[in-house]
Amino acid sequence: MVINKLDQMFELLRSKDKKRLVAAYANDSHTIGAVSKAVDLGIVEATLVGDEATIAKVCAEENIDIKKFKIVQEADENKAAQLAVKLINDGEGNLLMKGLVSTDKYMRAILNKEKGLMPGPKAMLTHVAVMQNPFYHKLLVVSDMAIIPAPDLNQKVAIANYLISTAKMIGIEKPKVAVIAATEQMSAGMQACVDAALISKMAERGQIKGAFVDGPLALDVAIDKEACEIKKIGGQVGGDADCLLFPNIESGNVFYKMHTKFCKGDLGAMVVGAKVPCILSSRGDSEKVKLYSIALAALCAK
């Protein structure tokens, strides 16, 4: 099933075995509300790690039945994040979600060398989002917007593979990956162009598999067929990209926020590269974004 709209993830998940979400320090109404809706939609089961009295108060205020959750008591923010990670490692969950815990403590628990969620010393985390933009004809899978400030070539190759695997999870058989730069012209003095050309050649020679990959591509030619016609850009990817690989965190983050704030687009996002998908919601994300993020992580969880 190819998912063309984010809501279709719910239908697909209801046809599969339920995954269990573990929310770290789930003491806030936004987290509890999003998890509650996910449970009501039948797409996950949920464990909330946090202060039980606070969780009970929030549930009462929001008219949420607390009995739909498994509650694990831990009132300390840092310990709650560590305990949530332990539950995942103990096989009691398939995906992790950030609650009210600060991002640094959440990520520290995931990255802990002895008790965290990293599958090996060479593992790498990146942030992947699936976007539904009212001005584009299909979903877009994009990275990295929040984790790696300035990815090098090897990191970009890893990000490309994460983009491809995520696109396949939403039913795209052979994703079209655009490696973004400021121009589609090959400029040796611009590192983003050099890296994009190398990644494109690697895909051409089978070192990156399962996708059409092209770059460097400026954003306009990646997503607009008319721009491709004007600039005489051919190939499988131009004007019809499924995935956008950004050259740095600034460009990815600006695109992410332009999508949500100016275009009023919807999205689901997660951190990948750990043993399980990890939801890292921004304080500015809506409950709907958090719900879509839960669905995306559940869809990609093993």
Summarize pLDDT for 167-222 with one digit per residue, the tens: 999 999 999 999 999 999 999 999 999 999 999 999 999 999 999 999 999 999 99
Whether residue 279 sits in one domain with residue 202: no
Number of domains comprising the chain = 2
Whether residue 183 sits in one domain with residue 67: no
Whether residue 90 sits in one domain with residue 137: no
What is the pLDDT at residue 284? 66
**According to the 3-state scheme, what is the secondary structure of the chain?**
CCCCCCCHHHHHHHCCCCEEEEEECCCCHHHHHHHHHHHHCCCEEEEEEECHHHHHHHHHHCCCCHHHCEEEECCCHHHHHHHHHHHHHCCCCCEEEECCCCHHHHHHHHHCCCCCCCCCCCCCCEEEEEEECCCCCCCEEEECCCCCCCCCHHHHHHHHHHHHHHHHHCCCCCCEEEEECCCCCCCCCCHHHHHHHHHHHHHHCCCCCCCEEEEEECHHHHHCHHHHHHHCCCCCCCCCCCEEECCCHHHHHHHHHHHHHHCCCEEEEEEECCCCCEECCCCCCCHHHHHHHHHHHHHHCC
Residue 283 has pLDDT above 70, yes or no: no
Query: pTM surpassing 0.85?
Result: yes
> Does some domain include residue 1?
no
Residue 28: HSE in the Cβ half-sphere, 13 Å Cα cutoff: 17
pLDDT band at 107 (very low <50, low <70, confident <90, very high): very high
> Does some domain include residue 268?
no
Q: What is the domain-level CATH number for residue 13?
A: 3.40.50.10950
Mean pLDDT of 103-120: 95
What is the pLDDT at residue 134? 95
> Does some domain include residue 191?
yes
Residue 281 has pLDDT above 90, yes or no: no
Q: Which domain holds residue 77?
A: 8-121+274-300
Which is more confidently placed, 2 or 158?
A: 158
pLDDT band at 239 (very low <50, low <70, confident <90, very high): very high
Mean pLDDT of 237-247: 98
For residue 142 the two structure tokens come to 């994009």
Whether residue 257 sits in one domain with residue 136: yes
Predicted confidence (pLDDT) per residue in 37-63, tens digit: 999 999 999 999 999 999 999 999 999
Predicted confidence (pLDDT) per residue in 18-31, tens digit: 999 999 999 999 89
